[in-house]
Structure 1
Amino acid sequence: MKRDWKIIQEILCAIEDNKVKMHWEQIPESEQKNVLLHYELLKESELITNYELVSDMDDDGKCTYHPNFLPQSPNVPGIRMTMKGYDLLEVLRDQTLWNRILSKAKSLGVKLTYEFIVQAIPVIYKTMM
């Protein structure tokens, strides 16, 4: 699997719009594993919370995985973004800023990681002012 920033943006947008279940249902079965791995990356990076991976076993013994979108109790919110998640989504939506981050990574010859993005933002903002 390769990290895909477009998939990350789609997931974050779906969470923000409260349409994550609808988004999941539109993903072809052949791509679901890759998208699930991106959910896991977002959770590990503390960009989303109230998320868990659920497995179901069908009658034939086939195990399928899907994200849990519903709260386990009425008082617990469902999947949501953290403040860091909202911050990243703002960066991904701002094409000028995003293109400058991509360009900066390329000019420095470094990989485009979450940590690089976070560190590049203030540097790029200074050049924009």
Structure 2
Amino acid sequence: MKRDWDLIRQQLTDIEEEHDVLADLPEEPKWTDQPWEDYEQQLKEFRAAEGRIAGHLEMLVDNGYIEGLQIMRSADGQFFFGVSGPRLTMAGHDLLDTMRSSPIWETIKTTAKTKGIELTFDGIKALGSVALKQLLG
């Protein structure tokens, strides 16, 4: 899975606004009377979407930006969730504050791309202060 910073930004915002952070997970397909190959394709698409959403939440939890959410993976790649009032940590609020403003966020992404810098959690924080100075200067 490739990291999607816009998805991370949205997930942080959803948690801050107390939206259901798992609401965007698609519904797992059920096998009915369709051909098995169709069901397998639907399941593959479901697993990809679930993995993208859950994987990004997992990164946020693992790096201390979110509390109140547990994400577990089974051996076959299924995800299981423990939810007890997801909330941002102080570090999560700081990261979201850096990413919140659309002009600053776009400047961060553009600067990183122009300079050939890969976006990381620390890079976003550093580029956020540069972007703010550019917009205010």
TM-score normalised to structure 1 length: 0.74
CA contact under 8 A between 1:50 and 1:80: conserved in structure 2?
yes
2:50 counterpart of 1:32: yes
Task: Tell me the distance in 2 between the aligned counterparts of 1:66 and 1:101.
Answer: 33
Task: Tell me the distance in 1 between the aligned counterparts of 2:128 and 2:23.
Answer: 34
Unaligned runs of 5+ in 2: 29-45
Code of the residue aligned with 2:105 in structure 1: it is W
Q: Percent identity?
A: 30
Q: CA deviation at 1:54?
A: 4.4
- Number of aligned residues: 115
- 1:76-87 to structure 2, matched below 5 A, reads 78-87=85-94
CA contact under 8 A between 2:16 and 2:87: conserved in structure 1?
yes
- 2:122 alignment partner, one of 115, 119, 123: 115
Q: Select the structure of larger CA radius of gyration.
A: 2
RMSD: 2.3
Task: Tell me the distance in 2 between the aligned counterparts of 1:15 and 1:81.
Answer: 7
2:48 counterpart of 1:41: no
Code of the residue aligned with 2:67 in structure 1: it is T
Task: Tell me the distance in 1 between the aligned counterparts of 2:2 and 2:110.
Answer: 20
Unaligned runs of 5+ in 1: 57-61, 71-77
Task: Tell me the distance in 1 between the aligned counterparts of 2:113 and 2:129.
Answer: 17
CA contact under 8 A between 2:66 and 2:88: conserved in structure 1?
yes
Task: State the partner residue of 1:68.
Answer: 82
